[in-house]
Amino acid sequence: MTQKIILLFTICFFLSCSENDNSKRLKQNTVVAHMLSEPDGLHPFNNNSVMRSEIFAYTQRTLLQLDIETLEYIPTLLKELPSSSEDNKTFYFELKENIKWDDGSTLTAKDVVFSTKIMLCHLTNNAQIRPVYSSVIKSVDLDPDNPFKFSMTAQDIKWTAKTIMGGIYIQQKNHWDPQGIFDNITFDQILNKSFEETQQIANWFNNFNDAKNGFEVKNLKGLGPYEVSEWETEQYIILRKKKDWWGSNEKSIYNNSFPEKIIYRVIKESASAYLALKKQDLDVTTNLGTLDLMKLQERDYFNKNYDSDFKDRYGISYIGLNMKPDGTNHKPFFVDKKVRRAFAHLIPVNEIIDFVMFGHATRQAANISPLKKTYNDTLKLIELDINKANKLLDEAGWIDTDGDNIRDKIINGVKTPFKFKFSYMQSPTSTEIVLIMKESLYKAGIVAEPAGMDFNLFYKNAADHKFDAMLAGWGSSAAYSNPMQLWHTTSWVNKGSNFCGFGDAESDALIEEANNTLDYETHRNALLKLQARIYEDQPYVFLYCSKRKFAIHKRFNNRDMFFERPGVLLNNLELN
């Protein structure tokens, strides 16, 4: 009897402690946000994940940005949006004069020039995004009479010229280059790779590109209202509100910094995030599994404590097919357009939307979101059709010659079964989707061998073209997404984000036509033709855009939910 009493007391004690701990947390001015995986790094130029961009919304600043409410550009570090010359090739900027770095020094145009040079330089490890900027920017020049004024000259008339500087996170020149190594290197030399790569410059870039500048907390500096104070790998990242931040008196949803801390918790399993929401251990998520959010929305206790919703967003899930494999480690399974189209006919996209996404996703046939006016709505969705897929595979020479239910083909004199590695970022939802696809592909004699991995390995393999096929996705925005990064042939050669090897002179010309104009119809028509070309060549199997899944704790005000990423402004959540 005594043992039972002790046991009962112990259980009650721990339940009481848990309840008290939770009650204490809910009174703290700290936002605990959910992230599925940590960023590939927080380097100011070299990393490229969605989570990096989200964290940078609070720790870094650009000159201008897309307003999350109006979807129009607004000045951030500037007094006003830039003006332009009569020929629309030169743009004039003026910085606010009250912006301070963390050491108290003032932001000047020299910081902008330095940051732009680093973005454009071929020695920076940013090949994925560099072409977006190097194809537009010719030079950035200081005003000799005003340290806060500068101009940007474009290489020609460019669709993105007026806003291109809004993609560069401005860095402190005196922090990164106190010796002025880049002062005498011109933009022309950088763009033409004609400057002398001295040992001093080589050493500087070796240090600058070092991974420590994306992970060590002391190196993660920026102009935003928060700073990274702690990063426990695969567990959490803590952002701490800065004291005496330069923008604290400029009231806006971007300059507000209501929470004292923002804690990102890495929770990969949706079931674990579900339990964290039940216990009110999370304040915000946009990454919960669809079914889990639907279940929670049926619970009164959840609806009492959280606002939640499903909303459209910009982005795309896709299967990337390697059109230019090395032929040794990765066989030429997908070099034939007929095979790629057959593959598309074997993917049960509607079934995945119905049974995995529970209807909370929208199909699209092209690389541009249907939410945009430049989407090519004449392209038809590719439907599940195993008979059509079989016919195309037969025509491409993939036949089951030995009756083992697996198609094969003689490649370079060797009988090769159609067995490919199907790469994806490991998660329960992704695994479920890949297994559904695997089953459907096998009906046509194709064997998919699932290969789940973490984000960093997945992304590295994609950039190095070391994959057969991969299930992936791109986050996007209401802003113009320059196709140079994903679809131009230079982005394959330079290991940019053209992972699959799409493109030729014709498709490159369409990209350049879309970019090298200020006429909307010319721009739009080029994008429509480019989408049709991508659709025809099938480097991707375009799947769907899943809806963003929101849950925000009601202990905060300003619980706004947006189509535009990141969906929720954590800095603007104000404790009741």
Domains of the chain, start order: 23-38+224-313+548-575 (3.40.190.10), 61-174+182-188 (3.90.76.10), 315-546 (3.10.105.10)
Q: Which of 267-271, 320-324, 404-408, 444-448 comes out lowest in average pLDDT?
A: 267-271
- Closest alpha carbon to 383 in 346, 414, 410: 346
Q: Which helix (H) or strand (E) holds 263?
A: strand 261-266
What span, in angstroms and rounded, lies between the C-alpha atoms of 173 and 562? Answer: 34
Please tell me whether the peptide bond between 332 and the residue prior to it is cis, using omega within 30 degrees of 0. Answer: no
What DSSP element (H or E) covers 94?
strand 90-94
CA distance 248 to 384: 54
What is the mean predicted confidence (pLDDT) over 46-60? Answer: 94
CA 256 to chain centre: 24
Report the distance separating Cα 466 and Cα 459, nearest Å: 10
The backbone region for 397, taken as left when phi is positive above 0, alpha when psi lies in -120 to 50, beta otherwise, is left
pLDDT of residue 409 exceeding 50: yes
C-alpha count within 13 angstroms, C-beta hemisphere, residue 483: 30
Q: Tell whether the model's pLDDT for residue 202 goes beyond 70.
A: yes
For residues 202-224, give the mean pLDDT.
Answer: 96
Q: Is the dihedral of CA 119, 125, 131, 134 positive or negative?
A: positive
Among 158, 138, 137, 140, smallest CA distance to 149 is for 140
Partners of residue 321 on adjacent β-strands: 469
Q: Residue 76: what are its φ and ψ, rounded to 5°?
A: -115, -60
DSSP 8-state symbol, 108: -
CB-based burial of residue 76 (10 Å sphere; 0-12 exposed, 13-18 middle, 19+ buried)? buried
**Encoded tokens for 300:** 């009164």
Is residue 12 scored above 90 in pLDDT? no
Mean pLDDT of 230-234: 96
Adjacency order of strands within the sheet including 83-84: 83-84, 90-94, 149-154, 137-142
- Per-residue pLDDT reduced to its tens digit, 239-250: 999 999 999 998
Higher pLDDT, 506 or 427: 506
The answer to whether residues 486 and 474 touch, using CB atoms and an 8 Å cutoff, is yes
State whether residue 9 is helix, strand or coil: helix
Chain-centre distance for alpha carbon 10: 47
pLDDT at residue 545 in the model: 95
One-letter-per-residue 3-state SS of 465-521 = CCCCEEEEEEECCCCCCCCHHHHCCHHHHCCCCCCCCCCCHHHHHHHHHHHCCCCHH
Q: Return the number of other C-beta atoms located less than 10 Å from residue 440's C-beta.
A: 20
**Residue-wise pLDDT tens digits, 466-484:** 999 999 999 889 999 999 9
What own/partner pairs with CB < 8 Å and gap ≥ 24 does 488-493 have? Answer: 488/131, 490/131, 491/128, 491/131, 492/324, 492/465
Closest CA to 167 of 131, 203, 138, 141: 131
One-letter amino acid for residue 466 of the chain: K
Mean pLDDT computed over every residue of the chain: 94
pLDDT tens, residue by residue, 125-160:
999 899 999 999 999 999 999 999 999 999 999 999
- Cα angle, residue 329 at apex, residues 324 and 331 outer, rounded to 5°: 50
Query: With pLDDT > 70 as the criterion, what percentage of the chain qualifies?
Result: 96
| 312-362 confidence digits (pLDDT tens) | 999 999 999 999 999 999 999 999 999 999 999 999 999 999 999 999 999
Q: What are phi and psi of 461, to 5 degrees?
A: -60, -40
* Short-list 310, 353, 264, CA closest to 273: 264
Question: Tokens 């979807």, residue?
Answer: 71
Whole-number pLDDT of residue 395: 98
Give the span between the Cα atoms of 160 and 243, in whole angstroms: 36
Q: Where are the alpha helices (DSSP H) in 268-333?
A: 270-278, 290-296, 300-305
Query: If DSSP codes are grouped into helix, strand and coil, which group holds residue 485?
Result: helix
In sequence order, the 6+-apart residues with CB closer than 8 A to the CB of 506 are 533
CA distance 265 to 449: 31
Q: Please say if the pLDDT value at position 6 is more than 80.
A: no
> Distance (Å, rounded) from C-alpha 260 to C-alpha 239?
9
pLDDT band at 496 (very low <50, low <70, confident <90, very high): confident
Tell me the pLDDT band of 21, cut-offs 50, 70 and 90. Answer: low
Q: Which of 213, 144, 133, 147 is nearest to 175 (CA)?
A: 213
